Amino acid sequence: MGLHSSITSKCFYFKRVTRQNLVNSNGKRARFTCSILRTAVGWSAEIRFSQWPRWIRSLTAKGGNEVSGVSVFGRVAALGIVFSCSLPLLAQSKAVVKLDPALDRVMADNAKLQVLKADYFGISEGPVWMPEGKSGYLLFSDIGANAIYKWTPEGKMSTYLEKSGYTGELAAVGLQGYVAGNGRLNISNFGSNGIVLDPQGRLILCAQGDRAIVRIEKDGKRTVLADRFEGKRLSRPNDLVLKSDGAIYFTDPRAANNPNMELPTPGVFLIKDGAVKLLLSDYRTPNGIALSLDEKILYVNDTQRRLIMRYDVQPDDTIANGKVLIDMNGDKTPGNPDGMKIDELGNIYSTGPGGVWIVSPEGKHMGTILLPEPGTNMNFGDPDGKTLYITDRRSLVKIRLKVTGALWKKK
């Protein structure tokens, strides 16, 4: 159904009344009221829908518009399980927090977050829009599944590329990747992460398990663009951005206490003319990376320090004059800077506390797209480039904007 609400499993431990407008994946609305409290004899719950969803109707004996009960088992428990296990489907009734009037140029106040696939992925990451065919389609990584998935505008999902980030034997993966939580489970992360599309329509991706930057040729063969620096293997490439002159910038965090790591520090690297150059080594966890519209500024996220940094790009594609663009440490809401993209106005979109932060080129936090789970990455898509697709750890969501992505502006 792709329900949007604010109910969580916590509501089964105390009295809570929730009234929300639910929106399913087809845009149909239903009025939802939930009252749950603990009584002396057990649980009591009453749930009403003005438009009763079919899947909930099947759980009730009446098949009507409300259900109530005093047992933690039976119908109320079944409904509770559905809601508590569907947390990633659930989003806030208000999807956008506006902090500056300039956000009105970017998106509508009543923009809605639409859940496309919920509670399915190990860790979803690296979305990129493929402008092929009549309408195009979205590709994105599932790090835990070691795969790249394809999502069509019709809502169909399929596996696009297997062994996307690690091509060796699974039994031998060892510490080639790293372990990270997805909000519920600890996932071995050796699949592909960030993905970009080159001018020839080929994918270039961060292959974490293979510890390399890899290009997927049109015939499916893999070309390694970088896997070492000064003879030492990269740690686990995370995200990347492609410059119009062919230069590639990428981040390479280093897993702590991993004996397989050969480089002494995390790094931000440049690939140019077949050579790999270290640009930065003072990061704790370099992560998302993006270029300004004119390619004169390189933005880099540091997840642990919760900073977005900016650097001046030099004529030889090296960088200088690093400055803090925005510091997220003042917001204690869960979420850190991770993936990052740029729109046609030059605004920066970065995951952060509470969801996706939208930041002006001057470093002003204009607003936040609220997410039910900490986000990992995002990208612009659809034929007009005005839909922001967001990977939300175990889920995939989208929201409509008034602006296009930077790549659409260049077309």
167 plus 68 within the same structural domain: no
More confident residue, 381 or 30: 381
104 plus 176 within the same structural domain: yes
Tokens of 237: 């490439």
Write the single-letter amino acid at 182: N
Give the Cβ contact number of residue 229 at 10 Å: 18
Q: Are strands 340-342 and 319-327 parallel, antiparallel or unpaired?
A: unpaired
CA distance 276 to 44: 63
CA distance 150 to 381: 13
72 plus 26 within the same structural domain: yes
- 104 is a domain residue: yes
pLDDT at 63 (0 to 100): 37
225 plus 191 within the same structural domain: yes
306 plus 385 within the same structural domain: yes
What is the domain-level CATH number for residue 384? 2.120.10.30
CA distance 160 to 168: 18
- 117 is a domain residue: yes
More confident residue, 268 or 72: 268
pLDDT at 99 (0 to 100): 96
132 plus 72 within the same structural domain: no
- 328 is a domain residue: yes
More confident residue, 348 or 175: 348
What percentage of the chain exceeds 90 in pLDDT?
61
- Residues 290-296: what's their mean pLDDT? 97
pLDDT at 66 (0 to 100): 33
Sequential DSSP letters for 19-47: EEEEE-TT--EEEEEEEEEEETTEEEEEE
If we measure between CA atoms, which residue out of 373, 390, 400, 305 comes closest to residue 126?
A: 390
CB under 8 Å, gap of 24 or more: what pairs does 147-150 form? 147/191, 148/192, 148/195, 148/203, 148/205
133 plus 282 within the same structural domain: yes
More confident residue, 57 or 338: 338
Domain boundary among 85, 111, 145: 85
Under the banding of pLDDT at 50, 70 and 90, the label for residue 35 is: very low
More confident residue, 282 or 178: 282
pLDDT at 287 (0 to 100): 95
Q: By residue range, what is the domain housing residue 44?
A: 9-85
Q: Where is mean pLDDT largest: 17-26, 36-45, 171-180?
A: 171-180
Per-residue pLDDT tens over the stretch 206-264 = 999 999 999 999 999 999 999 999 999 999 999 999 999 999 999 999 877 677 789 99
- 40 is a domain residue: yes
72 plus 124 within the same structural domain: no
CA distance 197 to 394: 24
Q: Which residues, at least 6 apart from 372, have a Cβ–Cβ distance to it below 8 Å? A: 87, 88, 89, 90, 91, 92, 392, 395
CA distance 118 to 151: 13
Helix, strand, coil share (%) of the chain residues, nearest 5: 10, 45, 45
22 plus 122 within the same structural domain: no
Under DSSP, the state recorded for 185 is S
Under the banding of pLDDT at 50, 70 and 90, the label for residue 50 is: very low
What percentage of the chain exceeds 70 in pLDDT?
72
CA distance 163 to 170: 10
How many helices (H) and strands (E) the chain has is answered by: 3, 33
Q: Does 295 have pLDDT greater than 50?
A: yes
pLDDT at 94 (0 to 100): 79
- 152 is a domain residue: yes
74 plus 111 within the same structural domain: no
- Residues 80-90: what's their mean pLDDT? 39
Q: Does 183 have pLDDT greater than 70?
A: no
pLDDT at 280 (0 to 100): 96
- 2 is a domain residue: no
Q: Does 75 have pLDDT greater than 70?
A: no
pLDDT at 244 (0 to 100): 95
Q: Does 112 have pLDDT greater than 70?
A: yes
52 plus 179 within the same structural domain: no
Q: Does 407 have pLDDT greater than 90?
A: no
- 91 is a domain residue: no
Domain count for the chain, please give it: 2
- 356 is a domain residue: yes
Per-residue pLDDT tens over the stretch 312-335 = 999 999 999 999 999 999 999 999
CA distance 411 to 408: 5
CA distance 297 to 363: 13
57 plus 162 within the same structural domain: no
* Residue count of the chain: 411
164: exposed, middle or buried (Cβ count in 10 Å: 0-12, 13-18, 19+): buried
Cβ atoms of residues 294 and 245 within 8 Å: no
Domain boundary among 26, 51, 85: 85
Q: Does 161 have pLDDT greater than 60?
A: yes
Q: Across the chain, what does the average pLDDT equal?
A: 79
